[in-house]
Structure formats: C-alpha cells, structure tokens
Chains A and B, each alone.
Chain A
Amino acid sequence: GDSVTQMEGPVTLSEEAFLTINCTYTATGYPSLFWYVQYPGEGLQLLLKATKADDKGSNKGFEATYRKETTSFHLEKGSVQVSDSAVYFCALSELSGSARQLTFGSGTQLTVLP
C-alpha cells in the first residue's frame, strides 16, 4: 500500500537558518503530494501541494518539488522564523475507488529559536 516516510524530529534551528525536512513516498500510481502544518493549538492546514512530477509547490517562503525519479517531496525554506515553529506532515493522495484519502507521514516537529 501507499506510505510516506519523513525525517525524524524534533528539529531545532536558529532564526534565519535554512530548513530541509525530507520526505519520501511509496505509491502504486501517480499521487498528488502535500505538506500540511499544525501550529500549536490549531488544526492541520495545507501548506503547499504538487500534483505531478517536477511541479513545485510554494507558500509562505516554503517550497517542495515533486521528484518522481527519487520518489521525494522535500520541504525547504531559506530563512526560518520563530513563527514557523510547528509540526509538519508530508502526505500523499491517490484515487482509491472514489476516494481521495490522504496518507500521512509521522510528522516532524520544528522549533525555531530567536
């Protein structure tokens, strides 16, 4: 079945540092790929997505490129801020029957220190 493996946390960075959170996936077809973020005390929010190979999703300074050859969707940001502290989830969805259920990784806790 489909699965998502993402970088173990927690990750602690200083403000303005470069961020990479690795994500690789296994899927039987051609999934769409997502990064969701969960800020403290809030629900899951879509951060960015990519629906086909070589697409780049971007939002709030974060980027991720859909790499079919390496089955990866790594999240990057050039300069993190304290407000980026959150848990980040990589996810995929693939049509299964009539559903587009999401399969999530286990999450990576990011803490950014001032």
Chain B
Amino acid sequence: GAGVSQTPSNKVTEKGKYVELRCDPISGHTALYWYRQSLGQGPEFLIYFQGTGAADDSGLPNDRFFAVRPEGSVSTLKIQRTERGDSAVYLCASSLGEQDTQYFGPGTRLTVL
C-alpha cells in the first residue's frame, strides 16, 4: 500500500519568504508527527497531531512555525519569514494510533538562501 508521502521533495526559497510543506499520511493513521533533521544529526521532534488537533507542539522552535491538519488526514507545515537556519530536511511520520510504530515519509529538503 501507499506509504507516507511528502511534497515537494525539494524546496529552495529566499530568506524572509513563506513556505508550506505538505504531508499525506498512510490512510487510516490517526497520529501524525513532524520532525526536522539538520545535516549530520538525528531528527528532532516538532509537533504531533492526534486527529485534527495538535496534541503536542512543544518542539516548534518559535512562532514562525505553524502546522495544521484540518480534516485529520493531510497536514501542512508552514514557515513564515524563513531564515537560513531553517534549512534542513523536514520529515513527516504517521502511525495508526499514538502508541504504534511511526512510518516516515521521504522528507522535504528545504534550503533557505
């Protein structure tokens, strides 16, 4: 079956611009996670959704980052006024329930020039 998909696979933007990154979870998975992976590091947690609501957004670095999941399926991570330090691979994962195995998408590589 289809896995987690993320679009775009690559995004290059200029400092100060706004970007949206999309995640399509595995069908039927209620839990959705966003992580950020900087070069040479492991992924770091950003935010977790259970259904439509953000159950834990403690990993968002600041108020320029925001994520939504309006219908409990697709999620969008939004970054305002991008900075060069935001350059990283943004990973999405989904799981059947909150205590189940997380399946990861291929990631979106964001480069802020």
Interface residues in chain A, defined as those with a beta carbon under 8 Å from any beta carbon in chain B: 4, 36, 42-46, 49, 89, 91, 95-107
Is B98 part of the contact surface with A, judged by Cβ < 8 Å? Answer: yes
Q: Is B20 an interface residue (CB 8 A)?
A: no
CB–CB B40/A97 < 8 A: no
Contact size class for B?
Answer: 20 to 34
Report the Cα distance A89→B99, complex, angstroms: 19
Instruction: Report if A42-B106 is in contact (Cβ < 8 Å); known contacts: A96-B56, A106-B42.
Output: yes
Give chain A residues whose Cβ lies under 8 Å from the Cβ of B4.
Answer: 43
Q: Is the CB of A44 within 8 A of B56?
A: no
Shortest Cβ distance from A44 into B: residue: B104
A106-B41, A107-B41 given; name 11 further pairs at CB < 8 Å: A4-B42, A43-B91, A45-B104, A89-B42, A98-B50, A101-B45, A102-B35, A102-B102, A103-B45, A104-B42, A104-B44
In the assembled complex, the CB of B76 is this many whole angstroms from the nearest CB of chain A, namely: 19
Contact partner, B105, options A43, A89, A101, A107, Cβ 8 Å: A43
A105 vs B52: C-alpha distance when bound (angstroms): 29
A43 touches B56 (CB 8 A): no
Q: Digit string of B23-36 for contact with A (CB within 8 Å is 1, else 0)?
A: 00000000101010
Judged by a CB distance under 8 angstroms, whether B59 is at the interface is: yes
A98/B55 contact (C-beta < 8 A), A43-B104, A43-B107 known: yes
B55 with A97: CB separation less than 8 A:
yes
Residues of B within 8 A of A98 (CB): 50, 55-56, 98
B48 at interface by CB-CB < 8 Å:
yes
* B101 & A49 in contact (Cβ 8 Å cutoff): yes
When C-beta atoms are compared, the residue in chain B nearest to A32 turns out to be: B99
Central interface residue in B58, B99, B102, by most chain A CB within 10 Å: B102
Report how far A96 CA is from B93 CA in the complex, Å: 17
CB-CB < 8 A to A36: which residues of B? 104
- Partner of A44 from B40, B41, B43, B44 at Cβ < 8 Å: B43
